[in-house]
Amino acid sequence: MFALAYRLLGSAEEADDAVQDAYLRWSGAVRADIREPAAWLAKVVTNLCVNRLTSARARREEYVGPWLPEPVVTGAGALGPLDSAEQRDSVSTALLVLLERLTPAERAVYVLREAFAYRHREIAQVLEVTEANARQLYGRAVRRVAARTPRFVPRPEQQRGLVESFIAAAREGDVAGLEKLLADDVTWWGDGGGRITAARRPIVGREKVLRFLAGSAERFLVGVELESVEVNGWAALVAYLGGELMAVASFDVRDGVIADVRVVVNPDKLTFVRRQLEAPGRG
């Protein structure tokens, strides 16, 4: 249920709340009237999340700077099986950002169909719409996601290698090494939410990103420890200062180089992943 709620909301904390609300309803339900508990819970969670998305969209429009999903460590199965590249992509930061463009109903249909392989008839029952309407919502969602940008799904080992190379170059202050890893049109996104200093607009282009990294290294990266961890299905970077988690960076790979870097530094969005990283066994 958490895996479903997180894909729908892009927020681990809100997903946790939605799951708790669903179980409260489950505890008060007449069990004899529920023939399929899993389907019942999925329906309740989905509709709770659709309602939450409606209010969340208004809050995110007022958000300071770029809005990014809350990172989740996935190596230990926090978001369900991620055995294939397609399953990994279903929880990637890049896709969750794209899903923000959808209406709550479109997002629900897209997630149920793409991530959980629900049939259109089942989706219609969950959302209490006609099967024809469910198909229309799905078609619109697919077109809107596809229209934003081509999706590139790398091999996990390629992603991991690039992230580890990025970390090694950053540790050494190797600008030439970083340059080789970045696409010409690489984009850097920073989510500070007004709580922590971060670029209020995306930084586009290799030279601009390198200048930004050089400036950041001088101001913020002294004494910072960098580590590679699987976040949202893919190798990512986590940064610690004095033993405290300060940032999580996700990377999009295209044609063998890094095309997008999305960095969450808003401490409110690091609460869940911090708990995961501090827990025995992680995730």
In a domain, 283, yes or no: no
Instruction: Assess whether 133 and 161 both reside in one domain.
Output: no
Is residue 210 located within the same domain as residue 137?
Answer: no
Domain of residue 166 covers 156-278
State residue 151's pLDDT score. Answer: 62
Does residue 7 lie within any of the structural domains? yes
Q: Is 37 among the domain residues? A: yes
Kindly state whether residues 121 and 165 are assigned to the same domain: no
CATH number at residue 233: 3.10.450.50
First-to-last C-alpha distance (Å) of the chain = 16
**Helix then strand then coil, % of the chain, to nearest 5:** 55, 15, 30
How high is the pLDDT of residue 215? 80
Position 283 scores a pLDDT of 46
Could you give the CA distance from residue 259 to residue 147 in angstroms, rounded to a whole number?
Answer: 18
Same domain, 96 and 22: yes
- 118 and 18 fall within a common domain: yes
Long-range residue pairs from 128-134, CB within 8 A, at least 24 positions apart, any chain = 129/105, 134/109
Q: How many domains does the chain have?
A: 2
Please say whether the beta carbons of 265 and 66 come within 8 A: no
Query: Helix H segments across 182-260?
Result: 206-219
pLDDT of residue 152: 72
Given 148, 183, 212, which residue is the final one in a domain?
148
Per-residue pLDDT at 104: 96
The pairing of strands 224-231 and 234-241 is: antiparallel
* Burial degree of 100 (CB within 10 A; 0-12, 13-18, 19+): middle
Same-domain status, 134 and 166:
no
Question: What pLDDT shows up at residue 204?
Answer: 97
Does 74 share its domain with 133?
A: yes
Two structure tokens written together for 223: 């004494």
Same domain, 64 and 123: yes
Whether residues 58 and 177 fall in one domain: no
CATH classification of the domain holding 14:
1.20.140
Helix, strand, or coil (residue 85):
helix
| Residue showing tokens 């190798």 | 235
The residue among 148, 166, 192 that closes a domain is: 148
Out of 148, 169, 193, pick the residue that ends a domain: 148
pTM, rounded to two decimals: 0.91
Burial of 131 (0-12, 13-18, 19+ CB in 10 A): middle
Pair 124, 229 in one domain: no
Question: What does the pLDDT profile of the chain (283 residues) look like in tens digits?
Answer: 999 999 999 999 999 999 999 999 999 888 888 889 999 999 999 999 999 998 887 788 788 889 999 999 998 889 998 988 888 989 999 999 999 999 999 999 999 999 999 999 999 999 999 999 999 999 999 999 987 665 677 888 999 999 999 999 988 889 899 999 999 999 999 999 888 878 789 999 999 999 998 887 665 566 789 999 999 999 999 999 989 999 999 999 999 999 999 999 999 999 999 999 998 655 4
Q: For residue 213, which of 181, 255, 252 has the smallest C-alpha distance?
A: 181
pLDDT of residue 110: 97
What was the pLDDT predicted at 50?
96
pLDDT at 202 (0 to 100): 95
Please report whether residue 20 resides in a domain.
Answer: yes
| Distance separating alpha carbons of residues 224 and 190, to the nearest angstrom | 17
pLDDT value for 111: 97
Q: With respect to residue 178, please indicate whether it lies within any of the assigned structural domains.
A: yes
Do 185 and 142 lie in one domain? The reply is: no
Residues 193 and 144 in one domain: no
Is residue 95 domain-resident? yes
The helix or strand, by DSSP H or E, that contains position 241, with its residue range, turns out to be strand 234-241
Place of tokens 């294939």: 84
Angle, helix 37-61 to helix 2-9, in steps of 10 degrees: 30
Judge contact between 269 and 231, C-beta under 8 A.
no
Q: What separation in angstroms does the CA of 113 have from each of 43, 126, 197, 272?
A: 14, 12, 38, 27
